Structures are given as structure tokens and as C-alpha cells.
Amino acid sequence: MGTESLDEVLAENALSKIDSGALLLLFLLTVAVSWLLAWYFRDQYGTRSLIRAYLVYGIIQLFLGLIIWQLPFVLVIGIYLLGALLTAFRSNTYFYE
């Protein structure tokens, strides 16, 4: 066991180098887009247009997350999939109203 302090160990961790502000902003943007898309397509019974719109947002999210904010690929994809789940459940809520 080394004599390194906890601060030194945490400073070397890859997760400590991620910009948490950009990560939070990408998460909030994804939640907002998910809700807005589900609300916008609430009167359409076919899901094709909703899926296309969310796929277009996926391209925008990849560009923002990977190129602009330089977030890890795994986190960007994870946030995108979480948004897809939220869109599906929110769209289902509007469908049964």
C-alpha cells in the first residue's frame, strides 16, 4: 500500500478530469428535448416521425458532447439512451390520455 493521499489518488482518476458542467448541461438538454419531442408528436399515432426526430437530435448531441464539450463517448451515448427511454415513456403517457 502506497503512502499517497486520497487527494493524489483522486486527482489521477480519469473521471475527475470530466467537465461536470458540460455533462450536466448535456443531460438537461437531452431531458428537455425528450419531453418536447414527446409533447410535439403527442397527436400522432405512428412513432416513425418521433424516432426520426430523436435520431436527428442524436447527431446534434454527438457533435455537442464529443466535439464541442469533449465528453467521453460512453457518457454521451448513455445520456442519449436515457433520453430515448424518457421519450418512449413520456410518449406512452400522452398516447393513453
The confidence score (pLDDT) of residue 52 equals 94
**Has this prediction a pTM greater than 0.85?**
no
DSSP 9-25: HHHTSGGGGS-HHHHHH
**Contact between 26 and 81 (Cβ < 8 Å):** no
Is residue 11 in a domain?
no
Is residue 39 in a domain?
yes
Q: At what angle do helices 20-40 and 48-62 cross, to 10 degrees?
A: 160
Is residue 89 in a domain?
yes
Query: What's the structural domain count of the chain?
Result: 1
Is residue 30 in a domain?
yes
The confidence score (pLDDT) of residue 93 equals 66
The confidence score (pLDDT) of residue 62 equals 96
pLDDT in tens, 40-78: 988 887 789 989 999 999 999 999 999 999 999 999 999
pLDDT in tens, 16-27: 788 899 999 999
Check residue 76 and give left, alpha or beta (phi > 0: left; psi -120 to 50: alpha). alpha
Comparing CA positions, the residue from 12, 11, 30 lying closest to residue 69 is 30
Give the residue numbers spanning the domain of 57: 24-95
The more confident residue out of 1 and 69 is 69
